[in-house]
Amino acid sequence: DIQMTQSPSTLSASVGDRVTITCRASQNINNWLAWYQQKAGKAPKLLIYKASTLETGVASRFSGSGSETEFTLTISNLEPDDFATYYCQQYQTFTKTLGQGTKLEIK
């Protein structure tokens, strides 16, 4: 199985900041990577797929980059609604795997 490792596990930031979350795959996943946002008690929401394609309706302050085994999610100009937990997920293989999550907290 492909292992997905996110860092950091927790991130503290302030409204207006720019933050970056990293996701590393244990092998090349050819940009078949998605990012999700999950708020407490709610289902996750797809933000980005194919490493850098913004899902319809998602704010442009979210962006994704990377290739092969290393990927980043960047959130610019943080808004109060952005404080949540973020997950990456690979879909290179039939067996899908997700990262352990990064909790973005208000500083």
Partner 1 sequence: QVHLQESGPGLVKPSGTLSLTCTVSGGPIFSTYWWTWVRQAPGKGLEWIGEIYDSGTTNYNPSLKSRVTLSVDKSKNQFSLELNSVTAADSAVYYCVRSFGAFDSWGPGILVTVSS
Q: Which of residues 28-57 bind partner 1 (CB under 8 A)?
A: 32, 34, 36, 38, 42-46, 49-50, 55
- Judged by DSSP in three states, 95 sits in coil
CB atoms within 10 A of CB 89: 19
Q: In the complex, what is the shortest distance from the CB of residue 28 to partner 1, in angstroms, rounded to a whole number?
A: 16
Record the tokens describing residue 50, joined without a space.
Answer: 């194919």
Report which secondary-structure segment, H or E, holds 90.
strand 85-90
Q: In the complex, what is the shortest distance from the CB of residue 14 to partner 1, in angstroms, rounded to a whole number?
A: 25
Q: In the complex, what is the shortest distance from the CB of residue 2 to partner 1, in angstroms, rounded to a whole number?
A: 11
> Which of residues 28 and 77 has its CB atom nearest to partner 1 in the complex?
28
Single out the segment in contact with partner 1 by CB under 8 A; choices: 18-26, 67-75, 76-84, 97-105. 97-105
Q: Tell me the DSSP string of 18-70.
A: -EEEEEEESS--TT-EEEEEE-TTS--EEEEETTTEEPTT--TTEEEEEETTE
> Which of residues 26 and 77 has its CB atom nearest to partner 1 in the complex?
26
Record the tokens describing residue 60, joined without a space.
Answer: 């442009």
Chain residues in the site for partner 1 (CB under 8 A): 1, 32, 34, 36, 38, 42-46, 49-50, 55, 87, 89, 91, 94-101
